Amino acid sequence: MQLDETDKKLLLFLQQDCKQTTKELSYKLGLSITAVYERVRKLENNGVISKYVAILDKTKIDKNFVILCHVKLTQHKKEYVLRFEKEVMTLDEVTECFHVSGDYDYILKICVKDMEDYRNFMLTKLTTIQHIASTQSSFTISEVKNTTELVL
Amino acid sequence: MQLDETDKKLLLFLQQDCKQTTKELSYKLGLSITAVYERVRKLENNGVISKYVAILDKTKIDKNFVILCHVKLTQHKKEYVLRFEKEVMTLDEVTECFHVSGDYDYILKICVKDMEDYRNFMLTKLTTIQHIASTQSSFTISEVKNTTELVL
DNA sequence: GGTGAAAACACTCTCAG
DNA sequence: CTGAGAGTGTTTTCACC
């Protein structure tokens, strides 16, 4: 995918606020409305822009208790790995899950209301998945940075 | 913030695709355009919806090497903590940074192009921050789940 | 809380150049 | 890439349930 400087700037703007009109963007980029329109459409069609979403404020919807949970499996048989991943994907509280190298197999980011909610999540959802050897939870004291923006 | 079931459904729809028209949403929710319009405005104004953004495909913009890096500081003096957090915030490669309880002080999510890029990031950016005692990197083998959607 | 209609306005999208 | 035009959606107000 060949992106020129204008495309990169455009993508930065859209990652900050995708509700800007083509008119506003054309002004910021020094191009005509049509030119910007065509570029956006190209970036959508070739999949560089995958979607447009609303970002909610976790503190206002009772999801402000964030935990990073490190999981080890008992074995790394393909069957166990696929089973674990499939089940994790269905858990709404898990917003991110990475299969990683190193001391653990997976690192999960979990968003819940409070400690009670987390305890409940662990007991009734996460640890009911088969073949988990151990979990280690790191509770978030503060969120220093959390952005969806990738700088090009 | 009092959210009824209709608000929750509306927020789910907007978290999946914020470019839907009020008309489409009114159809899905079984409400009038005006009713949906008023609800969306309310959710924007009271800050439940914090912003609307474009989500890019990491694989198409050379940011598909994701690392979770665990950082320990040498001391936890307020000055060192604030200094570290301030500097981390300026690093474009760091998309998330959490101050956590447990064996490490911080867990960072870092998005770069490849291992060479990561090495360069570590040597010229991260480890130039003062008072870091140690870092431990977990490389992502696969991204099992990664969503911005919070289920209400 | 909700509806439907109307009007003014702004934006999207296409097309010819 | 540009500018213009038709079509469509947004935003607001209104009377009303």
Nucleic chain C contacts, protein chain A, residues 41-100, CB cut-off 7 A: 41
Please write the tens of the pLDDT for every residue from B80-117. Answer: 999 999 999 999 999 999 999 999 999 999 999 999 99
- The stretch A77-95 carries a mean pLDDT of 97
| CB neighbour list of residue A106: distance below 8 Å, 6 or more residues apart | A70, A71, A73, A84, A88, A97, A98, A99, A100, B144
Contact B99 A146 (CB under 8 A): no
Residue B2 has pLDDT above 90, yes or no: no
* pLDDT at residue number B82: 97
- The stretch A110-119 carries a mean pLDDT of 98
Q: How far apart are CA A37 and CA A23, in angstroms?
A: 9
Residue A137 has pLDDT above 80, yes or no: yes
Q: Which nucleotide is nearest to B36 (CA to C1')?
A: C2
- How many Cα atoms are found within 13 Å in the side-chain-facing hemisphere of B99? 13
Interface mutation target, options A43, A96, A106, chain B, most CBs of B under 10 Å: A96
**Tally of CB atoms within 10 A around B32:** 11
From the list A96, A104, A143, the residue facing B145 with the nearest CB is: A96
Please state which of the ranges A22-26, B1-5, B40-44 shows the lowest mean pLDDT: B1-5
Q: What is the average pLDDT value for chain A, to the nearest integer?
A: 96
Q: How far is the CA of A38 from the C1' of C13 (A)?
A: 10
Residue B24 has pLDDT above 80, yes or no: yes
What percent of chain A has a predicted confidence (pLDDT) above 70? 100
Q: Tokens 């305890």 appear where?
A: A119
* pLDDT at residue number B140: 98
Residue A33 burial by CB count (10 A; 0-12/13-18/19+): exposed, middle or buried? Answer: middle
What domains, with CATH codes, occur in chain B?
Answer: 5-45 (1.10.10.10), 58-139 (3.30.70.920)
| Structure tokens that stand for B66 in this block | 């994701």
If pLDDT is split at 50, 70 and 90, which confidence band does B1 have? confident
Determine the residue of chain B that is closest to A51 in CA distance. B55
Give the torsion through C-alpha atoms of A134, A139, A82, A129, to 10 deg.
60
Q: Which nucleotide is nearest to A19 (CA to C1')?
A: C11
* pLDDT at residue number A125: 98
**Is the pTM for the entire model greater than 0.85?**
yes
- The stretch B108-127 carries a mean pLDDT of 98
What percent of chain A has a predicted confidence (pLDDT) above 90? 99
- The stretch A33-43 carries a mean pLDDT of 94
A21 touches strand C (CB under 7 A): yes
Please write the tens of the pLDDT for every residue from A15-26. Answer: 999 999 999 999
* pLDDT at residue number A95: 98
If pLDDT is split at 50, 70 and 90, which confidence band does A147 have? very high
| Structure tokens that stand for B45 in this block | 């104004």
